[in-house]
Structure 1
Amino acid sequence: MFEEQIIALFSKQRLESYSNDLDKLFENLRLIARITPKIAVIEIILRNMLDSILTQTNPLWIENSKDKIMVEAKNKITKDTKNTNLTHHQYLSILTFGIIIHIIKKEKLQNKVMNLENIKFKTYDLGNRDFKCVKQKSRLRNFEKVNIVLSLLQNLRNRSYHWENIMKTTQKQNKTYPRITTKQHNVIIGIHPDNIELFLDDIIKTYGQGLLDIMNR
């Protein structure tokens, strides 16, 4: 009877993604609970850094944008809120993280919003590499690292905020591969579940060790 109740409450499909182990499901939810504030802090920082940079030349960069994706997003916000008089700050706070990332890349602001000089992707999974070409081993430049990190952040955020199993891995030929990955510049970068918190801590640390210390109190 208890098993039937659990299936009804959590769904057969969701439980199967945890090998029908309820302890693993709650372990995953506890991990999401720990990392959610860190994802939120990074998103808030990026949102405000982008706004600070663009408002220097165009205080109404959202309202006056001609970018098709931005225009569609703004129109959707207006329709959903049924408010045609939203302030710039209100628009900014409602824009999705995906739109924020889109504008950062479109305006080529990667180097202004993140300094990832000390980030080594191999730290987060042994299968990662920090260069583009296997033969020449040309190092990833900062803007390329930022594109990778932004993609990983968006992937991790979306999965976490939909309560998906972010602890899942893939087994191939006796090797373990992370499920949270991105492919940029012919480089596949992933985050092993055990290193998700380390990854987020390292990104926050790029904005100041003090900020990370406050968060980890």
Structure 2
Amino acid sequence: PYPGSLEEARHSAAEARRSLRGCATDLSAAESAVREASDVLVRHANSTRYEQVRTPARQQIRELPAAALPEHAAKWAEAFAPRLRVLTDELEQLERNRDTIVDRLRGLVESALATLRSAQRLSRLPEGLGEWSGQEFLSIRFEEPDHATLAERLGEVIDEATRAAVRKNSDLRRDGMSLLLRGVQAALEPRGVAVEILKPDAVLRAERV
């Protein structure tokens, strides 16, 4: 028998029902989350990206009923843990290598932009040419990005070049000049380079075109 009063019993029963409804809601949400996670896992295992992966776990994920997947999750997680550590280390190394490549390309691009700037200075004409005397034959204008923006743009150039090389099964090392030119182009986006020259003229008027 319930030790308390009738009112206390009713209150206790109401609290128990509320708690039960809350637990049922939580259980339903958890089951829905498990089903969704199972669906994601199966789609992942069936992806064509992993056709070359021949591990038993992938085969099991593809063949087992969705309802049976959760009971194997802990075992699979344990089996994948060593490989995850290896892949994580490899990805970190790749990221460091990418940063090194971007940094080296940035140096080459900055050197190329410096060459562009010096071309204008070196085009200064000697005296004795009328209005052209002391004029710079070339006028080169461009906006140079800051280091952070340049690094970001060059990173995109490297990533795209890498994807293209993978698609074509080619070697990036054989196409260094093309990569540098793409880097310079990316550095000068979106306006590019504006170049004016002194208009060739019989009387050497200082007009630019």
TM-score by length of structure 2 reads 0.31
Report the structure, 1 or 2, having the larger helix content: 2
Report the structure, 1 or 2, having the larger strand content: 1
**Which one has more relative contact order, counting CA pairs under 8 Å at least 6 apart?**
1
